[in-house]
Amino acid sequence: MINLPSAAQLVFVLLIAVPFSAAARDDAWQPREDNAAWRAECSACHIAFPPALLPADDWLDIMSRLDKHYGVDASLETTLRQQIGAFLERNAAANRSLTSRDDVPRITSADWFVRKHQGAIRLWRKGKLKSLADCAACHKGPDIERMTGN
Amino acid sequence: MRYLLIVAAVLFAAGARAEVPRDFLSRFEKEAGVAASAERGARFFSTRQGGEWSCASCHTEKPTQAGRHAKTEKAITPLAPAANAERFTDAAKVDKWFRRNCNDTLNRLCSAQEKADVMAWLLSLK
């Protein structure tokens, strides 16, 4: 006879396991084409954020001031910058609703991000997560591994 | 024509030659016109120079061990050649990171002497 799950097990599944199952769909953000320069250069300091997480305008804005990149000099020589910029533009989000609401483009301030990351935002406010841009702190698996350049 | 091709091939081979860490010490010493000091390099590395960070903020005060990016938390492999054979083997990479990191820590480019001193110290680490 099959054991029916206890109420406690059901509560565990609903409260703990279900919210983290979102990670299973991380591959939805993978770009259609690969680009070695994007992966190598961006992942030198943070994961190479998938181009589909920002619209083209935001990527162009970011790539036009890499020498002042969120408080850090991330300048690149021209050819490489143009090559990565073109890749980001080709694979950017088509949907304007992904535009961030900050004065500088920020994936973490877009409505969809805030809606889906309430738990992470709580941890970040408590100082238990240093940066919301540290996707790999919670998201594990081969798709994230690829974006970390490892 | 043949002569030109040979010259081009020699130049290409010279450009493609991989560097070793000591090459950078010699290059920066030559540019600076003075001998490097590992002691001065050690001090420079771990002291904040007006900016928010020192080199050690990300690379740690003991760069034979792994560091962590002060802003993004991303793991940084050891900087000292004794602990990481990939370091200081590519001139484009070395120039890129000195440019960026000096700007971030000093708000200016590093002098050849500063770079020579840091190289001398990093090469002295076992």
> In which band, very low, low, confident or very high, does the pLDDT at B39 lie, cut at 50, 70 and 90?
very high
Sign, Cα dihedral of A107, A97, A102, A71: positive
Name the residue with tokens 């309430």. A118
pLDDT at B38 over 60: yes
Interface probe with B: pick from A39, A67, A73, A84, most Cβ of B within 10 Å: A73
CB contact, 8 Å: A80 with chain B?
Answer: no
Q: Which of A31-45, B27-41, B82-96 has the lowest mean pLDDT?
A: A31-45
Secondary structure (DSSP) of B19-61: P-HHHHHHHHHHHHTS---HHHHHHHHHS--SSS--HHHHH-S
Residue B26 CB partners (closer than 8 Å, separation 6+): none
pLDDT of residue A95: 73
Give me the residue spans of the domains in chain B: 19-124
pLDDT of residue B93: 95
Report the percent of chain B where pLDDT is more than 90. 79
Give the ranges where chain A is alpha helix by DSSP (H): 7-12, 18-20, 36-42, 56-64, 78-90, 111-116, 118-125, 142-147
User: If you ran DSSP here, which 8-state letter would residue A98 be given?
Assistant: G
Give me the residue spans of the domains in chain A: 27-99+106-147
Contact between A45 and B72 using a beta-carbon 8 Å cutoff: yes
pLDDT at B59 over 60: yes
Q: How far apart are CA A123 and CA A130, in angstroms?
A: 9
> Residue A54: which of A83, A29, A18, A21 has the closest Cα?
A29
Sign, Cα dihedral of B18, B21, B23, B28: positive
pLDDT at B99 over 50: yes
pLDDT of residue B73: 85
Q: How far apart are CA A90 and CA A47, in angstroms?
A: 19
Instruction: Read off the pLDDT of residues A66-91 as tens digits, 9 standing for 90 and up.
Output: 999 999 999 999 999 999 999 999 99
Tell me which CATH homologous superfamily contains domain B19-124.
Cytochrome c-like domain (1.10.760.10)
Identify which has the larger pLDDT, A150 or B32.
B32
CB A30 within 8 A of CB A37: no
How would you class B83 by CB atoms within 10 Å of its CB: exposed for 0-12, middle for 13-18, buried for 19 or more?
middle
> In which band, very low, low, confident or very high, does the pLDDT at B25 lie, cut at 50, 70 and 90?
very high
Interface probe with A: pick from B59, B68, B74, B99, most Cβ of A within 10 Å: B74
pLDDT, averaged in runs of 10, over chain A (150 residues): 53 49 55 91 93 92 95 95 97 75 83 93 93 87 68
Q: What ipTM does the predicted assembly reach?
A: 0.82
Contact between A75 and B74 using a beta-carbon 8 Å cutoff: no
CB A87 within 8 A of CB A60: no
Instruction: Read off the pLDDT of residues A21-30 as tens digits, 9 standing for 90 and up.
Output: 444 455 667 7
Sign, Cα dihedral of B51, B55, B57, B61: negative
